Amino acid sequence: MTITTTITALGHKGEGVAEIDDRKVFVPLALPGEEVDIAVEGDRGTLLALRQESAQRIKPFCPHFGACGGCQLQHMDRPSYEAFKTALVETPLHFAGIETKVSRFIDASGDGRRRATLHARREGAGYMRLRSHQVYDIDACPILVPALRRAPDITRAVMQAVGEADVSFTATLSGLDVAIRTEKKQARADRVAPLAARFGLARLSLNGEMVLQAQPPIVAMGRAQVELPIGSFLQATEAAELALAEYVTAAVGKAKTVADLFCGVGPFALRLAEQRPVFAADSDKAGIAALDKARRFAKGIREVSAKARDLFRDPLTQFELPFEAVVLDPPRAGAEAQVRELAKSKIKTVVMVACDARTFARDAATLVGSGYAMSDLVAVDQFTQSTHIEIAATFRR
């Protein structure tokens, strides 16, 4: 069914919302106030033509925008873009009973994303098409750091070597770290091994196992240098890591005893340890080992007691929290079990970094309900042109 309608709002996935026959229809690439022709199927609309454009609309900077599904917001002007992303943080908090505003919006795009996953399929190499499981073939991606300019070429070479796969890239100080994932059980390491020399890779892995390593992939974290384990978490942009680390360091202040929970490879713990001993915990055993090694070889770093522990199933109890401050940086699922223990503790300061606004709001409500006051709510925009946003906030008793 094809109809003409007006877009009345923007959904949390960046899609225009049209009210048709008392139901909402979601239309990618459309903006509030626009009169559009759309094809409707259920609650989905496909933009066919713009009859009247919004004043918010701008020309996308990438020629692939609209077909490639990697970005959703390149057609929005800057004020509208920041307002939309700010609302992504504030709205879930409102529904959780917390009325507050983002105090700062930090553009953390920096030189571009240092991490990306491209898909190798018969139709090409790139990201998934908009609303599709088919890959949109790209020649370049302007939101990536220059070091990843050959990522599409490497992905195509992977397709030729082992067939369909997902290829994850990380740009490090010592070169590219490339991790291949494939469903093909007979995928052979010797088929992809020549790619390491061909593209000058620092490390190449296949389904979690190292194929070749010319040199360890290294990233700097304060005074320390960390050798990245295969598959460990790292912030998408260096600018975001620096912005979040500066926020965490300032919020912790002069606290003498600090715990960094969900610490990963240590972007906060290693910097905090420049001033005081730090306890760090995460379920990622390889990440904990990398953090411990980085601490041992770094100069000007105090003691970091790094422990592998599943904080979802086995959170630190209120009796194991003899700290003045705790830093949390959980994955998208949030830190529900650990936050419940923090709520029962006497810890003065909790600094929370989050990548999911809904689980952040849930966990923030638990802390606020137990007597903490939330302050300095910050939105850190490292996944630019997408509907993802990083969050940081401070909670004090």
- Domain ranges for the chain, please list them: 2-57, 83-108+227-396, 115-172+175-215
- For residue 223, pLDDT over 80 is answered with yes
Average pLDDT over residues 372-389: 97
Distance of CA 351 to CAs 222, 256, 335, 364, Å?
Answer: 19, 15, 12, 11
Architecture of domain 115-172+175-215: Beta Barrel (2.40)
CATH number of 2-57: 2.40.50.140
How high is the pLDDT of residue 206? 96
Quick check: helix, strand or coil at residue 215? coil
Q: Regarding predicted confidence, which is higher, 291 or 130?
A: 291
**pLDDT value for 157:** 97
Beta bridge partners of 318: none
Catalogue the active-site residues: 355
359: helix, coil or strand?
A: helix
Reduce the DSSP state of residue 214 to 3 states and report it: coil
Instruction: Provide the 10 A C-beta neighbour count for residue 223.
Output: 14
Mean per-residue pLDDT over the chain, rounded: 96
200: alpha, beta or left? (left if phi > 0; alpha if psi -120 to 50): left
Answer whether residue 172 shows pLDDT above 90. yes
Q: Which CATH number, 3.40.50.150, 3.40.50.11720, 3.30.9.10, 3.40.50.12160, labels domain 83-108+227-396?
A: 3.40.50.150
What is the reported pLDDT for 199? 98
**Length of the chain, in residues:** 397
Quote the pLDDT of residue 123: 92
Rounded CA separation 383/237 (Å): 8
Same fold, 2-57 and 115-172+175-215: yes
Structure token pair of residue 185: 């059980």
Give the tens place of pLDDT for each residue, 255-304.
999 999 999 999 999 999 999 999 999 999 999 999 999 999 999 999 99
DSSP string, 131-176: TSSSEEE-S--TTB-GGGTTHHHHHHHHHHHHSSEEEEEEEETTEE
Q: What is the pLDDT of residue 142?
A: 96
pLDDT tens for residues 145-156? 999 999 999 999
Task: Provide the 10 A C-beta neighbour count for residue 302.
Answer: 12
Q: Helix, strand, or coil here: 119?
A: strand
Question: Is residue 127 scored above 80 in pLDDT?
Answer: yes
Residue 121 contacts residue 164 (beta carbons within 8 Å): yes
Euclidean distance between CA atoms 363 and 351, whole angstroms: 12
Is pLDDT at 1 greater than 90 in this prediction?
Answer: no
Name the token pair of 9: 């709002």
pLDDT of residue 131: 85
What is the model's pLDDT at position 186? Answer: 76
The pLDDT value given to residue 371:
97
pLDDT at 105 over 80: yes
What is the structure's pLDDT at 73? 97
Q: Is the pLDDT of residue 185 over 80?
A: no
pLDDT band at 247 (very low <50, low <70, confident <90, very high): very high
What global pTM score does this model have? Answer: 0.94
How far, in Å, CA of 100 to CA of 83, rounded? 15
Mean pLDDT of the 104-126 span: 97
